[in-house]
Amino acid sequence: MTHLAGPTLAGALVAALLLIIAVQRRPGGASDVLAVRGADISFTLQEEAAGTTLSDGLRHLPLEHILAAHGGNYVRLRVWVNPPAGYSDEQAVLTLARRAKNAGLKILLAPQYSDFWADPHAQEPPEAWRGEDLATMKKTIREYTRDLVAKLAAQGTPINMIQIGNEITNGILWPVGSVRDGTTKEWSNLAALVNSAIDGAREGAPRGHLPVVLHIDSGGDIGRSRYFFDSLLHAGVTSFDVIGLSYYPFWNGSLSDLRANLAVLAARYHRKILITETAYPWTMSGAKAGDWVTSARQLPDAQSLPATPAGQEQYFRQLRQILRDVPDHRGLGFLDWEPGWLTVPPKPGELPPAANLAMFDQHGVALPSIDAFAR
């Protein structure tokens, strides 16, 4: 039988190689690991000041350590220029960045270029910047971004990515950077501001290439997404690396809508795609007027993904698979929106509207969806 030893050995090697390839290709294999698995944790200091404690099993731990223990590798930190007392200012970002680094997490910085919430419906410039013309505003946004990035690096927490503005679908720093009318001049002004912010970010970065995310709110909307990126590219913004999308099913459509949009964006723009914000409800019990989700009718996939702990867990499983399936491996990953946001008002005097979207129950106990961050 010794004459069979050569072919048998070769066959065994081929079989082993095929097994390795199969493992790498199947869900959970090395080639399927999402590069970004994390969460926006910007409310953390406020929640802790309000007495909120979070537990992972029987252990009470800071949120960033719970994320890291379950495979998370990124946090997203928003920052406002001069917000109401206690909200996400520069000092809060510096503090959370130190904590994130100590937990072994990378940082996506998200300056909103406003004193408070910025989104497609509100992009008010900081009070200190109001009245500036385009030339002055370009200088201001460049220097502000540069200095912010440099301060984070100086304390030993250099950022790993930066998001220029927040949900900038209709522009930033209104009225100078508004594109609500869609004129060529408006897009040119927005491009000038975005390019200045990108330049400032990379000037402040201590080493290498700092990846840039441009973030809009249209995760399930192909037409809206194409219009924005076609227009901005045509206006001269080309030095960004990542398309960032908010995707909340109750606002942005079904998972099949998301899948279709990601396929189009990947093929059209040849950039990585990050779900920069997402969340899914784990309960409707106790939902009140003013909450973002109060009824299963708001959930396009409610039949297969009910508002239960198991349904929330399955939502993230399906989201991860959709990202793994993006053509040419352009699905970068996802960031859950504020998994520990349970009690803090979004604005002083308001009630929190999203406790049923957290990854912890009303007692601060981790839900099964916390494993969404696993490799």
Listed by start position, the domains of the chain span 33-373
Of 261, 262, 248, 275, nearest to 334 by C-alpha is 275
Q: Does domain 33-373 have CATH number 2.60.40.420?
A: no
Reported as half-sphere exposure (CB side, CA atoms, 13 A), residue 174 has a value of 16
- CA 202/CA 199 separation, integer angstroms: 5
pLDDT at 58: 83
277 is catalytic: yes
Please pick, among 186, 277, 313, 338, the residue that the annotation labels catalytic.
Answer: 277
Per-residue pLDDT of the chain (375 residues), as tens digits, is 333 333 333 343 333 333 333 333 334 444 689 999 999 999 999 999 999 999 998 889 999 999 999 999 999 999 999 999 999 999 999 999 999 999 999 999 999 999 999 999 999 999 999 999 999 999 999 999 999 999 999 999 999 999 999 999 999 999 999 999 999 999 999 999 999 999 999 999 998 899 999 999 999 999 999 999 999 999 999 999 999 999 999 999 999 999 999 999 999 999 999 999 999 999 999 999 999 999 999 999 999 999 999 999 999 999 999 999 999 999 999 999 999 999 999 999 999 999 999 999 999 999 999 999 999
**HEC profile of 120-133:** CCECCCCHHHCCCC
With contact defined as beta carbons under 8 Å apart, do 63 and 41 qualify?
Answer: yes
C-alpha 249, offset from chain centre: 15
DSSP 8-state symbol, 283:
-
Q: Residue 217 carries which DSSP code? A: S
Strand partners, 297: none
What pLDDT score was predicted for residue 116?
Answer: 98
For the chain, give the number of residues: 375
pLDDT computed for residue 5 by the predictor: 35
| Cα within 13 Å of Cα(120), Cβ side | 12
Task: Measure the CA–CA gap between 121 and 170, rounded to whole angstroms.
Answer: 8
- Would you list the DSSP string of 308-326? SHHHHHHHHHHHHHHHHTS
167 is catalytic: yes
**Active-site residue among 64, 167, 186, 338?**
167
Is residue 109 a contact partner of residue 152, using CB atoms and an 8 Å limit?
Answer: yes
What pLDDT is recorded for position 31?
A: 61
pLDDT the model gives residue 10: 38
Q: Does residue 101 sit in helix, strand or coil? A: helix
